[in-house]
């Protein structure tokens, strides 16, 4: 009799495994990787008119300014002394002047062409953020932008 | 004889256990789903740096025929907590006593500068029609020391929304400029 067969009936799990691995890959790639020059400690303000960074911009220098007015340097922004924080505007100005000197030596231009993106914490009072802007000017940088979270205006 | 035995060897079907791998994949998937937090999209607002300190020769010598850009000044005072306390508006060159009070609401400020920019746009277009080049207007924000960046950004944001492309922040205290 045929109903006495002992053949095992197993579901084919291979396509399911493929699908799950693809989903895992997706989430791994979308994981919130921290950008090299930006700091997660900085809580940015929101702005409707903020635009994405122009792709044609060659060199961008991110300056992360915390609520105390200190500039936090990322690993690749640090200099030989390995200082990770610039505590006052004089230090910021000297740091920017050194970077500008290196850049002008390389490019052969009389002014640094890099764009400075100021990532200023939303809790920073203007008396702390203004000296940083002033330091950019003293170091001869002319293209300075303020970073914000792009906000659609709809809650 | 030995050849015949070799021919008889049964083919072994490799059994790859997929279920533990699937379990592990589900665990990884659950981990990534739980920790998934898309990064907020960041953007920039261009700003003009504060003007250079006095002294030294100016490299930009304006021509007599050049039309000067209109400059508007919005003075913003801050509360103890760093919020906007009061905003006043005036055109550069006019007396401070004649400043227009805009209150503390950014919407009032936005409406005001929007209508101003529209008027300026008409002037620019009229200039173009008559062959004159009229430079775009400038907006200067005189900001109180305590004002927090969140509010500074609101003022910049409203300025850009109104149409201004030249927005410069300076402190209210002239000694700090």
CA B99 to CA B177: how far, in whole Å?
21
- What local confidence, expressed as pLDDT, does residue B75 receive? 93
Contact A126 B169 (CB under 8 A): yes
A-contacting residues of B 31-50, CB under 8 Å? 32-33, 35-47, 49-50
Mean predicted confidence (pLDDT) in A73-101: 88
Percent of chain B's residues with pLDDT above 70: 84
Q: Which of A13, A32, A45 sits opposite B149 (nearest CB)?
A: A45
Q: Is the pLDDT of residue A118 over 50?
A: yes
Q: Which of B18, B44, B153 sits opposite A51 (nearest CB)?
A: B44
Contact B49 A145 (CB under 8 A): no
Q: Is the pLDDT of residue A9 over 80?
A: no
Percent of chain B's residues with pLDDT above 90: 36
pLDDT band of A5, cuts 50, 70, 90: low
Q: What is the DSSP letter of B163?
A: T
Q: What angle do CA A90, A92, A96 make, to 5 degrees?
A: 120
- What local confidence, expressed as pLDDT, does residue B175 receive? 76
Whether ipTM tops 0.85, in short, is: no
> Residue B147's Cα: distance from chain center in Å?
17
- Token couple for B144: 């109180």
Mean predicted confidence (pLDDT) in A127-153: 90
Mean predicted confidence (pLDDT) in A107-131: 92
Range scoring the smallest mean pLDDT among A83-97, B3-17, B42-56, B120-134: B3-17
- What local confidence, expressed as pLDDT, does residue B57 receive? 43
CA A120 to CA A65: how far, in whole Å?
5
Q: Which of A17, A30, A148 sits opposite B43 (nearest CB)?
A: A148
The strand pairing partners of A150, in sequence order, are A47
Range scoring the smallest mean pLDDT among A2-6, A68-72, A110-114, B130-134: A2-6
**What are the distances in angstroms from CA B177 to CA A21, A135, A139, A150, B145?**
58, 12, 16, 30, 12
Burial B128-159 (b: 16+ CB within 10 A, else e): eeeeeebeebbbbbbbbbbbbbbbbbbbbbbb
The torsion angles phi and psi of A12, rounded to 5 degrees, stand at -85, 110
- What local confidence, expressed as pLDDT, does residue B58 receive? 44
Q: Any idea which residue has 């900085």 for tokens?
A: A42
The torsion angles phi and psi of B162, rounded to 5 degrees, stand at -70, -25
CA A96 to CA B174: how far, in whole Å?
24
Chain A hits for B50, CB-CB cut-off 8 Å, are 130, 133-134, 137
Range scoring the smallest mean pLDDT among A26-40, B30-44, B117-131, B147-161: A26-40
Mean predicted confidence (pLDDT) in B18-38: 86
Chain A hits for B21, CB-CB cut-off 8 Å, are 17
Contact A142 B150 (CB under 8 A): no
Query: What is the chain B residue with the closest CA to A48?
Result: B157
Q: Is the pLDDT of residue A1 over 60?
A: no
A-contacting residues of B 117-156, CB under 8 Å? 143-150, 152-154, 156
């Amino acid at each position: 009799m045929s109903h006495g067969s002992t053949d095992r009936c197993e579901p084919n799990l291979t396509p399911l495994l493929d699908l799950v691995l693809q989903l895992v890959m997706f989430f791994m790639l979308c994981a919130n990787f921290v950008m090299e020059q930006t700091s997660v400690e900085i809580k940015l303000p929101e702005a409707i008119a903020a635009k994405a960074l122009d792709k044609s911009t060659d060199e961008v220098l991110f300056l992360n300014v915390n609520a105390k007015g200190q500039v936090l340097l990322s690993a690749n922004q640090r200099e030989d002394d390995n200082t990770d924080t610039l505590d006052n505007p004089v230090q910021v100005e000297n740091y920017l002047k050194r970077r500008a000197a290196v850049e002008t030596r390389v490019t052969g231009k009389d002014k640094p062409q890099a764009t400075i993106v100021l990532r200023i914490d939303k809790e920073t009072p203007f008396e702390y953020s203004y000296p940083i802007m002033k330091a950019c000017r003293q170091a001869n940088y002319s293209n300075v932008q303020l970073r914000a979270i792009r906000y659609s205006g709809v809650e | 004889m030995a050849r015949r035995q070799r021919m008889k060897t049964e083919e072994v079907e490799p059994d790859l256990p997929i279920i533990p791998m699937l379990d592990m994949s589900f665990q990884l998937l659950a981990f990534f789903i739980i920790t998934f937090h898309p990064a907020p999209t960041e953007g920039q607002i261009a700003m003009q740096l504060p003007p250079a300190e006095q002294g030294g020769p100016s490299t930009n010598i304006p021509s007599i025929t050049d039309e000067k850009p209109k400059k508007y000044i919005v003075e913003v005072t801050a509360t103890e907590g760093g919020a906007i306390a009061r905003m006043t508006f005036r055109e550069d060159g006019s007396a401070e006593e004649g400043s227009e009070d805009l209150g503390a609401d950014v919407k009032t400020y936005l409406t005001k500068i929007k209508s101003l920019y529209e008027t300026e746009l008409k002037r620019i277009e009229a200039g173009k029609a008559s062959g004159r080049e009229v430079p775009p207007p400038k907006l200067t924000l005189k900001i109180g020391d305590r004002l927090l960046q969140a509010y500074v950004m609101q003022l910049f944001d409203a300025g850009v929304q109104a149409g201004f492309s030249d927005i410069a922040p300076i402190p209210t205290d002239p000694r700090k400029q």
